[in-house]
Amino acid sequence: MRNAWVIAKRDLGSFFNSPIFYVVTTVFLVIYSFIFFQILNFFSFQSLQAGQAQAMGMSLNLNEMVIEPSLQNMSVILLLIIPIITMRSFADEKKMKTFRLLLSSPIHLKEIILGKFLACMGVVTLMILISSYSVGFLFLLGEPEVGPIVTGYLGVILMAGCFVSAGIFASSLTDNQIIASVLTFGFSLFMWIIGWGAQAAGPVTGQILQYLSIVDHLDHFLKGLVETSDLVYYLSFMLFSLFLCHRVLDSNRWR
């Protein structure tokens, strides 16, 4: 596992060296902040209209009316930008022929994949953590509940992990970064909307589709619930994508 960390560290260094990271992070923060303050604004407007007692009402509603929709929106932004973060992982190594260094080194393919995954997760988690300044802002205004905030962020990070693992997998399929990012976006979006088919499908199929939908699992986390089935879903999603990635890279050698 030391090797995975060595690879992750190099990739992180390369992220922080490249403008892509700073541009993506800036765009992410600007859009997220805009949405957040929009929501906050709407919230204060409503609470004023309802003539609620500020101190009592806010502590209950801040979670439901501000944090929950903010995180939901954040997950949409993540869906859009994570493909840009992950697209380089293997595509660039293949295009620049640097992959040969890793392949001829005494390290396992597993460690390489894990390293790539950790690096992208590091970047994405960092971005999400920076965005959490907005929560601190809420504590100045009222008393939001801490529990759902923590689980909400956990859910968002796990969901981001699914996008990242899908992105790593897509990146192993090609040496073209654009193709890798489009594939990631397409696949993530599909897993997002797959639940929409639930109503049209039969009861059993519908339930399966609902369970497969990446976004439905986030709701529990946002409400402060950490359920095993959601954790299992997210973790198996990641493991399965990384497993596919391993299969692709391994079989590439046999062609």
List contacts with other proteins (CB under 8 A): 3, 6-7, 10, 13-14, 17-18, 96-108, 253-255
| CB 12, min distance to other proteins, A | 12
CA-based nearest residue to 172, from 120, 126, 235: 120
Distance of CA 18 to the CA centre of its chain: 21
Q: Which is nearer to other proteins, 200 or 255 (CB)?
A: 255
- For tokens 């869906």, name the residue: 79
Q: What do you get for the CA distance between the two ends of the chain, in Å? A: 28
Q: Which is nearer to other proteins, 101 or 200 (CB)?
A: 101
Distance (Å, whole) CA 25 – CA 29: 6
| CB 110, min distance to other proteins, A | 12
Distance (Å, whole) CA 252 – CA 255: 6
Distance (Å, whole) CA 46 – CA 79: 30
| CB 87, min distance to other proteins, A | 16
Burial class of residue 95, CB neighbours in 10 A (0-12, 13-18, 19+): middle
At 154 the three-state DSSP class reads: helix
| CB 182, min distance to other proteins, A | 24
- Neighbour count for residue 63 (Cβ, 10 Å): 22
Q: Which is nearer to other proteins, 92 or 230 (CB)?
A: 92
| CB 86, min distance to other proteins, A | 18
| CB 192, min distance to other proteins, A | 33
| CB 17, min distance to other proteins, A | 5
Q: Which is nearer to other proteins, 106 or 136 (CB)?
A: 106
Distance (Å, whole) CA 78 – CA 92: 22
Q: Which is nearer to other proteins, 104 or 229 (CB)?
A: 104
Q: Which is nearer to other proteins, 99 or 185 (CB)?
A: 99
Q: Which is nearer to other proteins, 65 or 249 (CB)?
A: 249
Are the CB atoms for 175 and 95 separated by under 8 Å?
yes
Q: What is the dihedral of CA 203, 212, 31, 8, to 10 degrees?
A: 180
